[in-house]
């Protein structure tokens, strides 16, 4: 549970302080008043990075440093961002120790909803891959490291493909093997979380919507998933000439996608706006359950302008869902949110 936050030189805040109650906290203010910035700062402090921007963009204009102070039940933490105009150095100070990257055991689980999530199944596949991997990172301690290693190996392989018209096959084989090993782990983790979603998503969606509906998430890859590592290695070997011609790796987790079906039809092609809202709300509810089960602690819920995206029935479902959790909800109209809660803590931004 978070108790307070102080933002210094963080985006539009030269120095802003906020206190949080254990239950529902409503951040209210007009558009462009800094509501989302509070959620962004909490994510940086608790999970290590923003959902919107790189570190340099987090510093207020014409400043060389920014700082976030966060109070939690367990400890206080200080996040510092310092720039020398070439790069930004970010550090996390917790319990007297300083970290350049936030270790998994020092992260605090969160579930984020922001309006762009409604585009999840309409936008490009990178959105869906990122969605899966960011959730898995909160569930599996080593997933972030595997992703980082995969990206490095992919860059090495692509560099080799671009540097030489006919790369040394033995050298390329070394990168193929390593890429396949890491890719197999990434896809196995993605498959596991999709299986968990499919066990619960239809029943919960039907409960929220009041209409019996079948929802199925499907991981899309041209490679046989039960033997993915071996299949990817074969695909890399088979596509070597094409990859040499294009200069990039055409097979692997970085090229794959997640599809969602509603009553056997692809959501992005047939779902109404109301159905899409319900699907995203359902996924967020399941995220919270998965995180709580995996980490034995309730996540903090950060919902940016969620009530304006939901009708009455879905708002009631969300209200019921929020009760056991500490949450921070932003809105331009406090009355829309306050009417649904007997007790809530109001945080004005202006």
Examine residue 149 and state whether it is found in any structural domain, yes or no. Answer: yes
**pLDDT tens digits along 182-226:** 999 999 999 999 999 999 999 999 998 888 999 999 999 999 888
Helix H or strand E encompassing 93: strand 88-94
Range of the domain at 201: 123-296
Regarding whether 136 and 82 lie in a shared domain, the answer is no
Indicate which CATH number applies to the domain containing 326. Answer: 3.40.50.300
Say whether both 127 and 83 belong to one domain: no
C-alpha atoms less than 13 angstroms from C-alpha of 317 in its C-beta half-sphere: 22
- Rounded to two decimals, the pTM is 0.90
Angle at 199 between CA 273 and CA 263, to 5 degrees: 40
Q: Are residues 17 and 91 in the same domain?
A: yes
Q: What is the mean pLDDT of residues 287-313?
A: 89
Assigned domain for 114 exists = no
Clarify whether residues 317 and 203 are in a common domain: no
Confidence class for position 342, pLDDT limits 50, 70, 90: low
CATH (domain of 225): 1.20.1050.90
pLDDT confidence of residue 28: 87
Does residue 116 lie within any of the structural domains? no
Q: Same domain for 143 and 257?
A: yes
Q: Tell me if 205 is assigned to some domain.
A: yes
Flag whether 117 is in a domain. Answer: no
State how many domains the chain has: 2
Q: How far apart are CA 78 and CA 181, in angstroms?
A: 37
Q: Are residues 134 and 276 in the same domain?
A: yes
Q: How far apart are alpha carbons 335 and 275 in whole angstroms?
A: 25
Confidence at residue 164, expressed as pLDDT on a 0 to 100 scale: 62
Residues 253, 314, single domain; the answer is: no
Judge contact between 272 and 184, C-beta under 8 A.
no
Q: Tell whether the model's pLDDT for residue 78 goes beyond 70.
A: yes
DSSP β-bridge partners for residue 331: 28
**Residue with tokens 């649904």, as numbered in its chain:** 340
Q: What is the pLDDT of residue 225?
A: 82
Same domain for 283 and 307: no
**Dihedral, CA atoms, 202, 287, 119, 102, nearest 10 degrees?**
-160
Give residue-wise pLDDT tens across range 243-287. Answer: 988 989 999 999 999 999 999 998 878 888 888 888 999 999 999
Residue 74 domain flag: yes
Residue 293: is it exposed, middle or buried by C-beta count within 10 angstroms (0-12/13-18/19+)? Answer: exposed
Q: Please give the mean pLDDT across all residues of the chain.
A: 91
Residues 239 and 318 in one domain: no
Q: Sorting pLDDT into bands at 50, 70 and 90, what band is 350?
A: low
CB 163 within 8 A of CB 157: no
Predicted local confidence at residue 165, as pLDDT: 63
Quote the percentage of the chain above a pLDDT of 90: 65
> CA 252, CA 119: separation in Å to the nearest integer?
24
Which tokens belong to 11?
A: 């985006």
Of residues 84 and 143, which shows the higher confidence score?
A: 143
Rounded Cα gap, residues 188 and 136, in angstroms: 11
Tens digit of each residue's pLDDT (9 = 90 or more) over 87-112: 899 999 999 899 999 999 999 999 99
Give helix 169-209 / helix 228-238 axis angle, nearest 10°.
Answer: 130
Residue 247, domain member (yes or no): yes
Q: Are 149 and 269 contained in the same domain?
A: yes
Across 254-275, b (16+ Cβ under 10 Å) vs e yields bebebebbbeeeebeeebeeeb
Same domain (yes/no): 162, 277: yes
> Are 142 and 166 contained in the same domain?
yes
261 occurs within a structural domain: yes
Q: Which of 80-84, 113-117, 144-148 bottoms out in mean pLDDT, i.e. has the lowest?
A: 113-117
| 147-161 pLDDT tens trace | 999 999 999 999 998
Percent of the chain with pLDDT over 70: 98
Can you tell me the distance from the alpha carbon of 217 to that of 235, in angstroms, rounded to the nearest whole number?
25
CA dihedral 337, 340, 346, 347 (to 10 degrees): -30
Q: Assess whether pLDDT exceeds 80 at residue 341.
A: no
Q: What is the pLDDT of residues 306-328, one digit of tens each?
A: 877 777 778 888 888 888 999 99
pLDDT at 335: 75
């Amino acid at each position: 549970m978070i108790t307070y936050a102080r933002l210094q030189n963080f985006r539009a805040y030269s120095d802003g302080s906020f206190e949080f109650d254990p239950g529902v906290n409503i951040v209210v203010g007009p558009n462009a008043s800094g509501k989302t910035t509070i959620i962004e700062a909490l994510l940086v402090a608790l999970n290590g990075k923003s959902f919107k921007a790189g570190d340099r963009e987090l510093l207020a204009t014409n400043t060389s440093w920014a700082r976030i102070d966060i109070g939690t039940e367990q400890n206080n933490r200080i996040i510092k961002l310092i720039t020398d105009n070439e790069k930004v150095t970010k550090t996390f100070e917790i319990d007297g120790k300083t970290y350049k990257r936030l270790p998994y055991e020092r992260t605090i689980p969160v579930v984020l909803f922001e309006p762009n999530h409604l585009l999840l199944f309409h936008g490009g596949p990178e959105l869906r891959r990122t969605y899966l991997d960011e959730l898995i990172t909160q569930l599996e301690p080593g997933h972030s490291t595997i992703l980082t290693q995969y990206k490095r190996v992919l860059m090495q392989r692509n560099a080799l493909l671009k540097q030489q018209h006919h790369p040394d096959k033995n050298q390329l084989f070394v990168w193929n093997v390593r890429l396949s090993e890491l890719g197999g782990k990434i896809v196995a983790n993605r498959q596991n979380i999709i299986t968990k979603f499919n066990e619960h998503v239809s029943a919960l969606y039907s409960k929220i919507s009041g209409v019996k509906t079948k929802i199925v998430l499907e991981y899309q890859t041209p490679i046989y998933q039960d033997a993915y590592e071996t299949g990817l290695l074969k695909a890399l070997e088979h596509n070597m000439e094409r990859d040499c011609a294009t200069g990039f790796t055409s097979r692997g987790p970085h090229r794959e996608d997640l599809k969602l079906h509603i009553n056997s039809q692809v959501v992005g092609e047939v779902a109404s706006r109301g159905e899409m809202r319900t699907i995203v709300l359902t996924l967020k509810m399941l995220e919270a359950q998965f995180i709580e089960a995996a980490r034995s602690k309730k996540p903090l819920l950060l919902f940016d302008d969620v009530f304006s995206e939901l009708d009455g029935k879905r708002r009631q479902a969300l209200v019921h869902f929020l009760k056991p959790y500490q949450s921070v909800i932003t809105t331009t109209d406090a009355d829309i949110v306050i009417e649904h809660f007997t007790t809530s803590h109001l945080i004005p931004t202006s």
